[in-house]
Structure 1
Amino acid sequence: MSVPRKVFFTRGVGIHKDRLASFEAALRAAGIEMFNLVYVSSIFPPKCIEVTRLEGLRNLSPGEIVYAVMARADTNEPNRLVSAAVGLALPKEQDHYGYLSEHHTYGETETQSGEYAEDLAATMLATTLGIEFDPDTAWQEREQIYKASGKIIETSHICQSAKGDVSGKWTTVIAAAVFIME
């Protein structure tokens, strides 16, 4: 059974005249360009522990197939704001899975995009745990309800935003949760 035991979070921005090269530059800035990345969905495995980016990278080898939850956005419009975020919500019960969410958008600040991704992850987890809430209330209010339930102990996010290059080169932003299989 292949269940990740560790995860690290990373982000990056890349700028280049070619769209693909801009993405490569963002991967390089995030430190994950040397892996064969396989995108996976939103489940944070039970008992998976977060490690630093540096520690995580020490556990991986160039060319390795690596699973990641990744958000990506790009633009070649000068000064257009792009943002990519991954949100995390962890349950109190360590044997229960948590959630990761990807959010990629235009025109949102890093704070707005990051909080939205965090909200998405927490809301998905809350629904699986049976926490009652009004989905129309503001994130900050729901965050308090989720944590007061005693069922969700942590929510967080990682986000990268950037304004499109003024000369019209491609600007790519990424945020990722990178799994280590050990």
Structure 2
Amino acid sequence: MLDLVAKKLFLTKGVGVADDKLTSFEFALRQAGIAGTNIVLISSIFPPNAKLIPRKDGLKLIKPGQILFTIYSRNQTNEANRLVSASVGIAQPKDRSKYGYLSEYDAFGKNERESGDYAEDIAAQMLASSLGIPFDI
């Protein structure tokens, strides 16, 4: 049986600006270093025993044309000077043999820090609820 459980994960980011959504997304993927892959969006589980590795190490593992399973957040606007943000938050249990969560969040009018903090809160809330621990964002 094919083992598709990730052993290593890394975070990356990119921004793309163009006249159309598809081209701006391509430019963001290029800046993120993953444009040469076939991206498959997956749900938000941080696998048990998986390691979060540095971006530069993760990018070295990617091959052109590879199917790349991703969890990503994305936001777009066609309004000049509109503040947009998109972020992925991570929450892992102390016992790394258990799974954790990644959460996607996007917003208008929030900066990078605000969006990132909220994404982490969402991931922490999902993890806490799976462990039966109360958590209030």
TM above 0.5, one fold?
yes
Q: Which residue of 2 aligns with 1:96?
A: 98
TM-score by length of 1: 0.72
Letter of the structure 2 residue corresponding to residue 47 of structure 1: N
Q: Which residue of 1 aligns with 2:48?
A: 46
Q: Where do residues 137-152 of structure 1 align in structure 2 (5 Å cutoff)? A: 139=137
Q: Which residue of 1 aligns with 2:80?
A: 78
Q: Deviations over 1:75-129 (max 9, x none)?
A: 1101111100000001001111000000011111111111110000000000111
Shift of 1:132: 2.4
Q: Which residue of 2 aligns with 1:13?
A: 15
Shift of 1:20: 0.9
CA RMSD of aligned residues (A): 0.9
Give the whole-Å Cα distance in 2 for the aligned partners of 1:53 and 1:132.
33
Larger radius of gyration: 1
Q: Where do residues 1-182 of structure 1 align in structure 2 (5 Å cutoff)? A: 1-133=3-135, 135=136, 139=137
Give the whole-Å Cα distance in 2 for the aligned partners of 1:63 and 1:53.
19
The structure with more strand, counted as a fraction of residues: 1
Letter of the structure 2 residue corresponding to residue 51 of structure 1: I
TM-score by length of 2: 0.95
Shift of 1:73: 0.3
* Percentage of identical aligned residues: 52
Higher relative contact order by CA 8 Å / sep ≥ 6: 1 or 2?
A: 1
Structure 1 segments (4+ residues) deviating >2 Å: none
